[in-house]
Amino acid sequence: MSKKATKTIHTHTSESLFGKENYIFMIAGIAVIALGMLLMAGGKSSDAGVFDQKEVYSTTRITIAPILILAGLALEVVAIFRKPKKA
């Protein structure tokens, strides 16, 4: 008595983990983080031998730049956890 071998063919569809919208949020988050880093770095001083307290401790460097960096990180979290829309 011979047994017929039955083969089951499984096909796997490769779905992308992230959708187009997720990648847009990721790129926007990276851009906001980069902007925050550039603002925190600031420009060069006119005289390297003189310490300018107003330039180093400006509102842009110690308040706005860190807020932008945190906002960029929040955008990255949103981009990762957002479910892609089904087409």
- Percent of the chain predicted with pLDDT > 70: 91
Sequence-distant (≥ 6) Cβ neighbours of residue 26 within 8 angstroms: 18, 75, 76, 79, 80
Q: Report how far Cα 20 is from the mean position of its chain's Cα atoms.
A: 14
pLDDT band at 2 (very low <50, low <70, confident <90, very high): low
Q: Helices H, strands E: what count in the chain?
A: 4, 0
Output the pLDDT for position 7.
75
- DSSP, collapsed to helix, strand or coil, labels residue 33 as helix
What are the residue ranges spanned by the domains of the chain?
Answer: 20-43+54-81
